[in-house]
């Protein structure tokens, strides 16, 4: 009889625990929104606002990010992603390109070559995985005007700021204390090193104004 009573009471109790845990986990995340002020935005450059460090692990994206070569331009010009993600490189141009990638850590001045691959017209996409945090500069030796950047980050809490107004939003950030940073191709080392602390409480949004 004791076992029977235990079985009857266990099921509803377990069901309540599952529902409560799901609701509780949803409430643990918050949102960071605000304004980024930089004259580089006004000049048409793109900047990335990102959380410097956060607890993982993190899921892979459902689809690989794509870096394309279109009309002698890398598209997109700036591609932020998370360490461990793969990128699919494509070329829609009729011209011969090469895919020259150089890597450096964010605050380092020296870089090293990652790969240098030919991209003939009609070539199949090339997939590369990025396992180290830092900046990957993409060039084309045949067309020196072509350049792009892949920013490899530790976590997925980032956003690409494209407009002069500098408005940004980073959603789904777990509750906790974090440091925001800003990356841009024209920013100086002291600007790249600057941090902006934020404290996210469960289910709340944090408003912040930052200027590197």
Per-residue model confidence (pLDDT) at position 109: 83
Task: Label residues 152-186 b or e (16+ Cβ within 10 Å = b).
Answer: bbbbbbbbbbbeeebebebeebbeeebebbbbbbe
Report whether pLDDT(53) > 50.
yes
Note the pLDDT tens digit of each residue in 118-154: 999 999 999 999 999 999 999 999 999 999 999 999 9
User: In this structure, what is the dihedral angle of CA atoms 182, 145, 81, 160, given to the nearest 10 degrees?
Assistant: 50
Are 73 and 93 in contact, with CB atoms under 8 Å apart? no
Per-residue model confidence (pLDDT) at position 22: 37
Report whether pLDDT(3) > 90.
no
* Percent share of the chain, pLDDT over 90: 83
Per-residue model confidence (pLDDT) at position 27: 60
Task: Label residues 7-16 b or e (16+ Cβ within 10 Å = b).
Answer: eeeeeeeeee
Record the pTM: 0.85
Report whether pLDDT(23) > 80.
no
Task: Categorize the per-residue pLDDT at 45 as very low, low, confident or very high, splitting at 50, 70 and 90.
Answer: very high
Task: Categorize the per-residue pLDDT at 195 as very low, low, confident or very high, splitting at 50, 70 and 90.
Answer: very high
Of 132, 134, 138, 94, the residue nearest 116 (C-alpha): 138
Tokens representing 123? 């070539």
Q: Which domains does the chain have, with CATH numbers?
A: 29-56+157-212 (2.60.40.1120), 59-154 (2.60.40.420)
Per-residue model confidence (pLDDT) at position 28: 81
> How far is it, in rounded angstroms, from Cα 184 to Cα 168?
15
Note the pLDDT tens digit of each residue in 164-190: 999 999 999 999 999 999 999 999 999
Of 76, 73, 54, 201, the residue nearest 145 (C-alpha): 73
């Amino acid at each position: 009889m004791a076992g029977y009573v235990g079985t009857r009471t266990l099921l509803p109790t377990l069901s309540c625990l599952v529902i409560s845990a799901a609701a509780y986990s949803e409430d643990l995340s918050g949102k960071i929104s605000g304004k980024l002020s930089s004259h580089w935005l006004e000049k048409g450059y793109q900047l990335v606002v990102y959380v410097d460090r956060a607890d993982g692990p993190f899921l892979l994206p459902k689809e690989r990010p794509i870096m394309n070569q279109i009309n002698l331009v890398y598209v997109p010009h700036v591609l932020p992603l998370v360490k461990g993600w793969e990128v699919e490189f494509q070329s829609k141009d009729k011209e011969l390109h090469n895919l020259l990638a150089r890597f450096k850590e964010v605050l380092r001045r020296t870089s090293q070559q990652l790969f240098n691959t030919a991209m003939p017209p009609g070539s199949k996409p090339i997939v590369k995985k990025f396992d180290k945090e830092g900046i990957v500069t993409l060039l084309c030796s045949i067309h020196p005007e072509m350049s792009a950047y892949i920013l490899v980050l530790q976590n997925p809490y980032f956003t690409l700021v494209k407009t002069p107004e500098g408005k940004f939003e980073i959603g789904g950030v777990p509750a906790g204390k974090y440091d925001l940073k800003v990356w841009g191709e024209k920013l100086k080392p002291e600007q790249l090193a600057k941090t902006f602390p934020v404290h996210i409480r469960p289910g709340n949004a944090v408003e912040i104004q930052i200027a590197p």
